Amino acid sequence: MNRIIQYGSVQAIPFFNCSHKTLDEWELTGVRRPLLGWSVLIFGIFVEILYIPILYIIVKTGLIRNPCYKIIMFLAVVDMNATVCSCLITGPFFIIGNVFCMYPTVTYVAGGYAMTTWAMACMATIFLFINRIVSIGLRKRTDFIEKKLAYFSILIVLIYGFYMIMFVPPILFNSNVMAYIPETLSEEVTAEAAAMYKNWPHEFNNWGFTGCMFVLFTLYCGMVKKLEGGQKSKASRAIFIQCSIICFFNTCVAIIYVSLAFMTPPQWILIFCQLCWSVNHACPAFIYVTMNDTIRREFSRTAFRVKMTKRREDVTVSTVAKKMSTHSIRKSSLMVI
């Protein structure tokens, strides 16, 4: 966004000018994909609605007092913003067949917003894994470390997001490529233009995130298995499934966007990438309401008015938090990303 401040407007930025064609002419250069667009848009609306009761439950039940859930709450807010980009903005872009020069300012700002929320979600996910690893590896000092780590993590993610939105060139949606790319594709790309379009921080984010997640995923699963004494339990299986889901969608999007710098993937891969991007920010919500006992129970009670048994009603979340052992708490909510 610093370039808008520096030059005064989007089209005043060098190599971002679209005045050599009319809007009608630019519209002819795009490809409309209404089926994909409406599917993504409707899915995004559903996900945003789903997140609202989840955030309410985290606050209502007192889970927010847990340092891990502070990061989870923050990540959920980031994911809601990312879903705005991946579904509520990108969906209409697919429907109208948007290219940069149809709506330069909107596309420029939306691209910066999308890149920022993606980068923040990547960083927050890494810190959440680190938080869980610390809680297992340093169990004796967990209470002292986790809270400080949670606030530190949120601060770093916010600073990282501010850097990405203010000082990094945005990626721009193009319906022909079916992705967000650094180039406007409005004119011939010269060496000077390529330098203006180059987006090293975004590429570094994707490469770095992929590498970090591979290391953290391996380390985390190994520590959980060791914690369980090498025995296969329901908790360890659930943790492995949750980790695998999150790593799969995140890594697929990161790898495909990295590959865009070297080649144009087949159309089906680009569609797959868009779907992974949309599901990536939605899967935490589905994990919360299906695999987290407390949130699932409260969600059923809030959304569907499902009556709990007397035994469950008698045991409040605060009582559980006080009386359960640290090991039991970790097994029930060790990985609820």
Number of Cβ atoms within 10 Å of the Cβ of 241: 13
Question: Whole-angstrom Cα distance, residue 174 to residue 284?
Answer: 28
pLDDT above 90 covers a percentage of the chain that reads 31
CB distance 318 to 62 below 8 Å: yes
Q: What is the pLDDT of residue 319?
A: 43
Question: Whole-angstrom Cα distance, residue 108 to residue 105?
Answer: 5
Q: How confident is the model over 20-74, as pLDDT tens digits?
A: 888 899 999 999 999 999 999 999 999 999 999 999 988 888 888 887 788 888 8
Q: Residue 230 pLDDT more than 70?
A: no
From the list 109, 82, 96, 101, the residue with the least C-alpha distance to 250 is: 82
Q: What is the pLDDT of residue 265?
A: 86
pLDDT averaged over the chain?
A: 82
Q: For residues 18 and 234, which has the higher predicted lDDT (pLDDT)?
A: 18
Q: How confident is the model over 260-293, as pLDDT tens digits?
A: 878 888 899 999 999 999 998 998 888 888 887 7
Q: How confident is the model over 117-162, as pLDDT tens digits?
A: 999 988 988 888 887 788 777 766 666 677 788 888 899 999 999 9
Question: Whole-angstrom Cα distance, residue 212 to residue 147?
Answer: 22
Q: Residue 332 pLDDT more than 60?
A: no
What is the band of 305 on the pLDDT scale with cuts at 50, 70, 90? low
From the list 18, 271, 262, 2, the residue with the least C-alpha distance to 112 is: 2
Q: Residue 19 pLDDT more than 70?
A: yes
Nearest 10 degrees: CA dihedral of 91, 97, 102, 104?
40
> Where do the domains of the chain lie, and which CATH numbers do they carry?
2-8+31-333 (1.20.1070.10)
What is the band of 327 on the pLDDT scale with cuts at 50, 70, 90? very low
Q: What is the pLDDT of residue 271?
A: 92
What is the band of 172 on the pLDDT scale with cuts at 50, 70, 90? very high
- 49 burial (CB, 10 Å; 0-12 / 13-18 / 19+) is exposed
Q: What is the pLDDT of residue 328?
A: 38
What is the band of 313 on the pLDDT scale with cuts at 50, 70, 90? very low
Q: What is the pLDDT of residue 131?
A: 79
pTM, 2 dp: 0.82
What is the band of 325 on the pLDDT scale with cuts at 50, 70, 90? very low
- 71 burial (CB, 10 Å; 0-12 / 13-18 / 19+) is buried
